[in-house]
Structure 1
Amino acid sequence: MPELPEMETYRMLLSELVVGRTITNTEIERVKSINTDPDAFRRRITGQAVTRVERRAKHLLFHLTGDQVLLLHLMLGGIMFFGRKERKPDRTVQVTISFGAEHLYFIGLRLGYLHLYRPEEAEQRLRKLGPDPFDPALTAERFAALLRARSGTLKSALTDQSVLSGIGNCYSDEICFQARLLPARKPASLSAVEWDALFRAMRELLREAVQYGGYMEMPLFQGDALTGGFDRRCRVYDREGEPCARCGGLIERRNVSSKKSFCCPQCQH
């Protein structure tokens, strides 16, 4: 599932591709992917321009003229592709938004959605999200307080979107590895030094992942050399049986809080 770095990569690239451009047509192949009548959806956004693209946790918000917002969540398996029709991946498209001869294809939205709201409605939908890991107001002390209150594991606390928004399976494991902590640790058991290490690891790891385009190899357009570049830099995620780059021990896959999880039991504690 796309997480914060993947959606931030999409946000940066789409800001260059669609901001300022006017929507010329919309095609809906799967009505369940939207939240209104297809004709009304098409009528309300056709002729509107994209004013900015915003990321909130794992969501993207396409702000349109006419005081409207398209709220996207790709969920599991969802991707986007921007370009001409002949370059589109050979996959089923649920929604297509056209900008003249170029199109933004929303693919794999069987569980995801592209909903149209007024700005205040979109804010209401997102109000239960916890703070973004890059929120300037999220201090190391507040971070520790939020996670320490959880009774589960570090894995479950880091991936709980109401506690902290944008982190999922991959980056929770990578953050724990960087902080030398096992994902199965109970938050209440961490020392002050370990909390500081975890907070620094979160910020550093997510910045690196954004810099290299996230771990999911799903190019946004033909020639996109950024998206998916972090996959080869993952230290533990999906590296079961491989030697740890830090200590040489073997990476293990474990079940933590009913989620698959990867760690090095030799140098994580």
Structure 2
Amino acid sequence: MPELPEMENYRTRLSEHLIGKRIQEITITREKSLNVTVEQFRQHVEGQTIVAIDRKAKHLLFNLESGKVLLLHLMLGGVMYIGGEGDAPKRTKQVTFIFDDCSLFLMGLRLGYLHLHSLDQVEEKLRDLGPEPLDDSFTLDAFYKLAEKKRGMLKSALVNQKFISGIGNLYSDEICYQSCLLPQRKVQELTIQEKQALYRSIQAILKRGLTYGGYMDMPVYKGDLLTGQYNQHCYVYDREGELCKRCDSKILKAKVASRKSFFCNNCQR
């Protein structure tokens, strides 16, 4: 599932190509992705210009000139591509936005949803999300206050969207590795020094994910050489049996909080 770096990468690249463009036509092959009828969706979206694309946690918000917002969550297996029918990947296209010079394809058998809302409805739907970890307001002191109230395993806390938004399975493992903490550790048992290391690691790993274009396995458009480069730079995720880059011990894989997790049992404590 795309996490904060992947969705921010999408936001940046889509903004470069689609801001100011008018949606000429929409093709919908999966009606379950919508929260209104196809007819209502077309009525409110066709002919509209995209004025801004924002991100909140793992969601993208396509702001239309009418004031309506398209709220997108890709869930498992969802991907996007900008181009034409000739160069589009051979994947199931569930929703297609057709512009005058290109199309935006939303693909994947398990695309989450693309809902039409007012701005107030979007704010209500997303109000329970935790703080954005790369916002200026997410300070060390703010993190201390959050962590004071949290109980349970570190892995569970990091992927809990009501605790901190945007972190999922991959980056939670990378964050634990960077901070030298095992994902099985209990949040309430962390020392002040360990909380400091965890906070710094959250910032560093997510920024690293952005630098390498996230881990998505498909470019956003033809000639996109950045998207997906994090796959070649993972510290522990999906590296079971390979050597730790810090201590040369073997990377282990285990179920932690009912999720697959990768870690070094030697230098993570």
Q: Which category describes the TM-score, using the shorter chain as reference length?
A: over 0.9
Q: Which residue of 1 aligns with 2:44?
A: 44
1:2 positional shift? 0.4
Instruction: Indicate yes or no: 2:131 matched with 1:131.
Output: yes
Superposition TM-score, scaled by structure 1 size: 0.98
1:111 positional shift: 4.7
Give the Å deviation of 1:109: 5.3
1:217: how far off?
1.5
Which string of whole-angstrom CA distances, capped at 9 and with x for unpartnered residues, describes residues 189-228 of structure 1?
1111111111001101111110110022221111111110
The answer for the alignment partner of 1:231 in structure 2 is 231
SS at match of 2:86: helix
Match of 2:77 in 1: 77
- Corresponding residue number in structure 2 for 1:166: 166
- 1:168, 1:82 → 2: CA distance? 25
5+ residue gaps, structure 1, are none
| Counterpart secondary structure, 2:196 | helix
Q: TM-score scaled to structure 2, two decimals?
A: 0.98
In the alignment, the residues of structure 2 paired with residue 45 and residue 208 of structure 1 have an alpha-carbon distance, to the nearest angstrom, of 35
**Paired residues, what number?**
269
Equivalent residue letter for 1:190 = L
1:63-142 matches, within 5 Å, as: 63-108=63-108, 110-142=110-142
Residue range with higher mean Cα deviation, 99-108 or 243-252: 99-108
Seen in structure 2, the aligned counterparts of structure 1 residues 183 and 148 have a Cα distance that, compared at 3 Å, is: farther
Give the C-alpha shift of residue 40 in structure 1. Answer: 1.4
Alignment match, 1:54: 54
Q: Cα RMSD between the aligned structures? A: 1.0
1:110 is displaced (CA, Å) by 2.6
The answer to whether the 8 A contact 2:241-2:252 is kept is yes
- Are the counterparts in 2 of residues 41 and 116 from structure 1 also a CA contact under 8 Å? yes
| Correspondences of 1:15-26 after superposition (within 5 Å) | 15-26=15-26
Deviation of 1:43 after TM superposition, in Å, equals 1.6
Asked if structure 1 preserves the Cα contact closer than 8 Å seen for 2:29 and 2:95, the reply is yes
Question: Percent identity among equivalent residues?
Answer: 50
**Equivalent-residue separation in structure 1 for 2:57 and 2:218 (angstroms):** 19
- 2:258 is the alignment partner of 1:258: yes
2:244 corresponds in structure 1 to: 244
Q: Counterpart amino acid of 1:179? A: S
Aligned counterparts of 1:94 and 1:61: Cα–Cα separation in 2: 18
1:142 deviation in Å? 2.0
Question: Against the structure 1 CA distance between its residues 109 and 49, is the aligned structure 2 distance closer, same or farther, given a 3 Å change threshold?
Answer: farther
Contact 1:254 1:261 in 2 (8 A): yes
Which residue does the alignment assign to 1:208? 208
Q: Structure 1 residues 69 and 119, CA, compared in 2 at 3 Å: closer, same or farther?
A: same
Q: Does 1:144 align with 2:144?
A: yes
Letter in 1 for 2:107: I
